[in-house]
Structure 1
Amino acid sequence: MGKLSGFRVIDLSQFLPGPMLTVMMADQGAEVIKVEPAGGDPAREQAPFDTYDGARHSVWFANLNRGKRSVVLDLKSDDGKAALRDLIAGADVFVEGFRPGVMQRLGFDYAAVKAIRPDIVYCSISAFGQDGALAHHPAHDMAVQALAGFLSVNDGADGTPVVPGAPSADLAAGLTALSAVLMALVGRERSGEGAYIDCAMFDSLLPWCAHTAGSAIAGGESPQSASQRSLGGAALYQIYRTADNAHVALGGRELKFARNLLGALGREDLLPLAEAPAGEQGELIAFLRETFAAKTRAEWEAWFADKDVAFAPVLDFREALDAPHVAERGLIVTGDGGGRHIAPAIRFAGEDWAPGPMPGLGEIDLGETGA
């Protein structure tokens, strides 16, 4: 029995933000019914693949849809609409990720769904929200990051923005939507009333710049990576190349770390530079670049082992997933039917967790949709 056992979620979303929201609910025991078109969620066909429950599944799809059940419905047909209405009648949460206006055209906007289930918690996830000048603008994660300002500081040494390593707008929306849905369910317990949630990827991502874009938030200039303390302007919050063409990271600007590092390197005279404003630490950055370039990544790992400095080697995913910390924390789990899953970040003390089975496309017979 998970924390969300007894809640039924109807999930019409695909790809990443919506499925991320609903898999976190499924991981905690919610009954999630994934409503798919005849071809299924396109993520089902995204390589690479692995064997889960004796069948070939996309690793992406498996990790975002485990523990759910699938029903195939044609929502443009009378039969499909009737089946979805039956599902809604017994649901607590309704999640959709279409462009604004689509659900109204299909006859399942909030007003229509609320008429079927008055206390429903209805969550719409879109790029820019249900209203405003950008509401109908097509966009996936990187376009949202670009329009929100984040891509401008996701740049290389020459100032050119690069493709981000994480789909932050997608993930921010999934987390924000989960929080909103759970808040609404708590509120419903007290008031008996459901809620409508307009969750935009753009809106969800924007608060993530509070610590880096303070000057712009206050009405001033936009931050520049080379002079911003968390984006490349600080020597102790920086990435350095090693002798074997690998990289290491210093990830803590606190003066105690600078003192420990520079003391061990015999350069306490450079300590005042670590206290200088970001963008004025060039001499210290140059010294550390030259220093780190003199040894291999492995040699630096050994050197830092007994020093209290926020240091880390830059690992690729194979190295990171094979690291002892991942095993010690149980962060990669193999299901009973095979296939590897990233364990949920939300786990409760004293409760065991195992990945739920994969949803076979259309596994729910229409005859049980009202159950």
Structure 2
Amino acid sequence: MRGEAALSIEKAPSGPLRGLRVLDLTRVLAGPTCTQMLGDLGAEVIKIEKPGAGDDTRGFAPPVWPETEESAYFLGVNRNKKSLTLDIAKPEGQAIIHQLLDGCDILVENFKVGALAKYGLGFEQLTQKFPGLIYCSITGFGQTGPYAPRPGYDSLIQAMGGVMSLTGEPDGLPQKVGVPVADLFAGLYGCIGILAALRHRERTGQGQQVDIGMLDTSVAWLANQGMNYLATKENPPRLGNQHPNIVPYQVFPTRDGHIVLSVGNDPTFARFCEVTGQQALLSDERFATNAARVANRQFVTETLTPVMQSRSTDEWVLALEAAKIGCGPINTLEKVFADPHVQARKVVVEMPHASGATVEVIANPVRLSATPADYRVPPPQLGQHSEEVLAGLLGLTEAQIAALREKGVV
């Protein structure tokens, strides 16, 4: 058994957001990432899913988790949520949303701009009835601007946001990042905006809309590369695994594989030269400072490559770490999850699924000493909590719920 022991299906929330309720009208990745973070921190999250279909990612398979019918993709971003199937296109479904909002603090949605307004569920419509509601909208391009009506997808945003132009080998094609970072960052920025809006509401009682555009967030995390462009007005080139501002800070071949070398400053480079037996380089002006090494990037790389190829990856890691020089192997995911440090940090958590199987999920990386993330509700089966929400929260009878099912509302 990896990570923490299997946890009970239900337990009282213990995180800092306990007592808050979130209505989750999101699907796929950006929105569910945001709402899972809120759930991990103690909020009660009610996930609204289309009857008979549910979140698109339920069908993003293979792989399906063993002994369940759930895709691994869906399981990754939907713990600590209760699934209520509800057709919001029907008046009865819209009425239930309004009933739920009476007891909700936050609504998170990632529909196209204006789509929810057709059902009376837009921000301007709901804020009149629920002035304290925090309404987070996550879209491809935000609520305003010429691209606002367009759909947003991770690879599209990576392309339009510039990161693809920076990623890949210099003479190769532009490359997207290997995981959907545009979606993930948008979800996390959404969570940050919600937390700020909660603080504002504590002071004023006033809710507000949190407008998250994936293109906005992708431009925001261009970070040093974005600032490099603003300073020079020159498009940064693709550098493969090299760093635009620091050398050597890149991948090198070793005798039996590869290593990432991260030499962040001149004193570290001096120690690197001592460990590798290349002290003579320090008297060469092309190596003397980081600025010089950046200017002579190709020569520095060509000089150090045979040096790094003289030992195995493990030998280099042992020697360089002893001198406090940043370095590391390039791990496969098998090696990542088997790494003793990763295991010591308990980054894999086991949860009992409603199917009877035990599923593994990747733990929340936010470590709070007093109110840690908790894992009380496993990723739900479609509609698993419909009766619990409708009867327990709204007081509907069995006959009323049955009538809603007959009409296809739930």
Unmatched tracts of structure 2, length 5 or more: 1-13, 396-410
* Structure 2 letter corresponding to 1:41: D
The residue matched to 1:214 in structure 2 has which SS? helix
* Structure 2 letter corresponding to 1:359: P
Residue of 263, 288, 296 corresponding to 2:274: 263
Within the alignment, does 1:348 sit opposite 2:368 as a pair? yes
Structure 1 range deviating more: 36-45 or 281-290:
281-290
Distance 2:372 2:208 in 1: 32
* Structure 1 letter corresponding to 2:329: P
Distance 2:26 2:142 in 1: 15
Say if 2:247 and 2:297, in contact at 8 Å, map to a contact too.
yes
Within the alignment, does 1:235 sit opposite 2:247 as a pair? yes
TM-score normalised according to structure 2 size: 0.84
* Structure 1 letter corresponding to 2:49: E
* Structure 1 letter corresponding to 2:266: L
Distance 2:374 2:206 in 1: 33
Say if 1:91 and 1:117, in contact at 8 Å, map to a contact too.
no
Say if 1:2 and 1:30, in contact at 8 Å, map to a contact too.
yes
**Partner residue of 1:287?**
303
> By how many angstroms is 1:287 displaced?
1.8
Say if 2:154 and 2:180, in contact at 8 Å, map to a contact too.
yes
Say if 1:97 and 1:126, in contact at 8 Å, map to a contact too.
yes
> By how many angstroms is 1:308 displaced?
1.7
**Partner residue of 1:339?**
359
**Partner residue of 1:129?**
142
Structure ranking higher on relative contact order (CA contacts 8 Å, 6+ apart)? 2
> By how many angstroms is 1:219 displaced?
6.2
**Partner residue of 2:379?**
358
| Count of matched residue positions in the alignment of Structure 1 and Structure 2 | 367
List aligned pairs for 1:13-92, cutoff 5 A.
13-38=26-51, 39-47=53-61, 48-51=63-66, 55-92=68-105
**Partner residue of 1:254?**
265
> By how many angstroms is 1:41 displaced?
0.3
Structure 1 range deviating more: 295-304 or 89-98:
295-304
TM-score normalised according to structure 1 size: 0.92
> By how many angstroms is 1:359 displaced?
1.6
- Percent of aligned pairs with the same residue? 31
Say if 1:7 and 1:91, in contact at 8 Å, map to a contact too.
yes
> By how many angstroms is 1:55 displaced?
3.9
**Partner residue of 2:133?**
120
Distance 2:368 2:350 in 1: 19
Distance 2:126 2:263 in 1: 49
Say if 1:234 and 1:279, in contact at 8 Å, map to a contact too.
no
* Structure 1 letter corresponding to 2:74: F
* Structure 2 letter corresponding to 1:280: N
Distance 1:175 1:157 in 2: 31
Within the alignment, does 1:179 sit opposite 2:162 as a pair? no
Pairwise CA RMSD: 2.2
**Partner residue of 1:304?**
320
The residue matched to 1:357 in structure 2 has which SS? coil
Distance 2:371 2:230 in 1: 42
The residue matched to 1:304 in structure 2 has which SS? helix
1:223 and 1:250, CA in 2 relative to 1: closer, same or farther beyond 3 A? Answer: same
Say if 1:23 and 1:65, in contact at 8 Å, map to a contact too.
yes
Distance 1:93 1:129 in 2: 18
**Partner residue of 2:406?**
none
Within the alignment, does 1:12 sit opposite 2:32 as a pair? no
List aligned pairs for 1:154-233, cutoff 5 A.
154-218=167-231, 220-226=233-239, 230-231=243-244
Say if 2:321 and 2:327, in contact at 8 Å, map to a contact too.
no
1:353 and 1:221, CA in 2 relative to 1: closer, same or farther beyond 3 A? Answer: closer
Say if 1:228 and 1:279, in contact at 8 Å, map to a contact too.
no
Distance 2:342 2:383 in 1: 34
Say if 1:86 and 1:369, in contact at 8 Å, map to a contact too.
no
Within the alignment, does 1:314 sit opposite 2:314 as a pair? no
1:216 and 1:252, CA in 2 relative to 1: closer, same or farther beyond 3 A? Answer: same
